[in-house]
Chain A
Amino acid sequence: MLVVKCPVCGAEGDETDFHAGGQAHVRRPATTDPAHVTDEEQRDYLFIRINPKGLHFERWRCDRGCGKWFHAARDTVTMEFKAFYGITELPPMDVIAQAKGQWAEYFEHRLKSEHKA
């Protein structure tokens, strides 16, 4: 059993009160540049997901509470939640620092691009 806490309304409860919504931070390429979306980008957006052993970032919904979506950082080995954060937010910096592999690459790229903008 996972104990989830919604960062929007503060409801804390069993995972059955919530709904897991898959991998977090998946970006739809057509949102930024609909005219130049390659087949590979669209394929990656639809089907290719990270399946890490260790720290993972997911979308959850406060299904039997306030009904809002939010993000969670969870360790897939220990099932421990590291952080809950808003749907438009990035994880806390100390959690980002623990990310490995593809997630580390993703956040490095993301932080760099946000720094530029």
Chain B
Amino acid sequence: MSELSYQSPLAGITAPSGLSISIREITERGMIDLRGLTSDAAFMSAVKGVLGMDLPTRPRTSVSWGDVKVLWLSIDQWLILSSRSKAHELLAILRDALKGIHSLVVDVSDMRAVIRIEGEGCREVLMKGTSLDLLDKEYVQGCCRRMRYAEIAALLDVVEDNVFDIYVFRSYTHYTWNFLCATAKAPAKLKLFGAQEVPA
């Protein structure tokens, strides 16, 4: 049997020149899908014992502790982010801690691809693909949400002001990448509200 090894969906592809923002793929990210009930005190305390922090229960928020970050996906679902090498170990510890508790823990590191979008104006670029108002004060550091981006399902994580991670299912990676390359071209730069610059 052949050896299983991870291959990045965008291996060998670099961002074209002439973009108004910077985009790159993040490959070194491990992801664990966690499901359970917030009303179950045993579940919440078991997870806290492993991660060292409370799960975010407020919709569309994330919390981080050290190099682990937890994204809120639904009222009973979270995505735990860590490094790819650590995810395996974390998964085993979580499984062990949640033994006998109604819950689900799965390693989904290869399920989604992560694209990092950085730079002045990246909100406007992202808004070309979604109905969300990313200029709203809700979208600050510590906010994450699932959304419809360029007609596909995506997960948005506001890492910092003007630094966004966008998670898409792996088979949509090329599509998302091409969509971003097309909409982020420097001459197509938008300034929402106020006078628009005239392209040279």
Contact = CB atoms under 8 A, between A and B. Distances in A.
Q: Do A and B bind each other?
A: yes
Size bracket, chain A contacts:
10 to 19
A64 B75 contact: no
Contact of B60 (A9, A63, A68): A9
A99 interface: no
B75 A68 contact: yes
B60 A16 contact: no
Looking at chain B's contact residues, the main secondary structure is: strand
Contacts of A29: none
B60 A64 contact: no
B132 A13 contact: yes
A80 interface: no
A11 B145 contact: yes
B109 to A, nearest CB: 21
Contacts of A13: 131-132
A16 to B, nearest CB: 6
A17 to B, nearest CB: 5
A87 interface: no
Going nearest first, the 5 A-B pairs with the smallest beta carbon separation are A14-B131, A66-B74, A9-B59, A64-B148, A67-B74
Interface of B: 59-60, 73-75, 77, 131-132, 145-148, 153
18 contacts: A9-B60, A9-B75, A10-B59, A11-B59, A13-B131, A16-B131, A16-B148, A17-B147, A64-B147, A65-B74, A65-B146, A66-B73, A66-B146, A67-B73, A67-B74, A67-B77, A68-B74, A68-B75
